[in-house]
Chain A
Amino acid sequence: GAVVSQHPSWVICKSGTSVKIECRSLDFQATTMFWYRQFPKQSLMLMATSNEGSKATYEQGVEKDKFLINHASLTLSTLTVTSAHPEDSSFYICSATPTGRANSPLHFGNGTRLTVT
């Protein structure tokens, strides 16, 4: 149980275009989902906390107008990288815990490798 699906697993786009990444909790509801960014050989950096039905909470230094987050339902959050640039190339991973189980572990999606050319 507690499966998180993330799509696409990899994407290559041209500079200036936008890319949408989907994160779905398949067998549980998630009021809150988390979006991380990971550079090679580095730790997971929390970008934002996605809240169903309300605005996302962004970490310091993360541009909310560049990384648009929408959490339209209890099982789906999307991250859109707008006007992508080569420096946005990275591994993006979403995660979630079941609603009402505050001390549950994080369940991660399989990640999206974004390459901006």
Chain B
Amino acid sequence: GENVEQHPSTLSVQEGDSAVIKCTYSDSASNYFPWYKQELGKRPQLIIDIRSNVGEKKDQRIAVTLNKTAKHFSLHITETQPEDSAVYFCAARRPGSQFYFGTGTSLTVIP
């Protein structure tokens, strides 16, 4: 099956700085890669996703890049704000299969 690794497990940045979270996957057939944000005690919320036919996608301060050859994808958050503090999960999925989640990154944005 798929193996998704996520780094770092914790990340602290100053408000206004950028944050980068990286994930690698093992199954070359995976073609869908969502990112979720989970605040304490709440459900994971989809913040951005990317499919294997594109290399980069951006939505305001959030961007995701995908390197299919190297089998890794990254989440980039620019101009971080305190409300960005949360746990972020990456995931990978091949068609017709379950989602495989990374181990999560706890992001703290220091005001």
Complex interface: stretch among A12-20, A41-49, A64-72, A77-85:
A41-49
Q: Determine the chain A residues whose CB is within 8 A of the CB of B32 once the complex forms.
A: 103
- Contacting B43 at CB < 8 Å: which of A34, A42, A103, A111? A111
Most chain B Cβ neighbours within 10 Å, of A91, A107, A108, A110: A108
Interface pair A49/B104, CB less than 8 Å apart:
no
In the assembled complex, how far is the CB of residue A25 from the closest CB belonging to chain B, in whole angstroms? 14
Q: Determine the chain B residues whose CB is within 8 A of the CB of A102 once the complex forms.
A: 95-96
Interface pair A105/B95, CB less than 8 Å apart:
no
A93 to B38, CA, bound (A): 12
Residue of A nearest to B87 (CB): A41
In the assembled complex, how far is the CB of residue B74 from the closest CB belonging to chain A, in whole angstroms? 18
Q: Determine the chain A residues whose CB is within 8 A of the CB of B36 once the complex forms.
A: 108
Contacts A34-B98, A43-B103, A107-B46 known; list 7 others, CB within 8 Å.
A46-B98, A103-B31, A103-B51, A106-B44, A108-B43, A108-B44, A108-B45
A-B contact pairs, 22 of them (CB 8 A): A34-B98, A34-B99, A41-B87, A41-B104, A41-B106, A42-B104, A43-B89, A43-B101, A44-B89, A44-B101, A91-B41, A102-B95, A103-B31, A103-B32, A103-B51, A103-B95, A105-B34, A106-B91, A107-B46, A108-B36, A108-B43, A111-B43
Q: List residues of B whose CB falls within 8 A of some A CB.
A: 31-32, 34, 36, 41-46, 49, 51, 87, 89, 91, 93, 95-96, 98-99, 101-104, 106
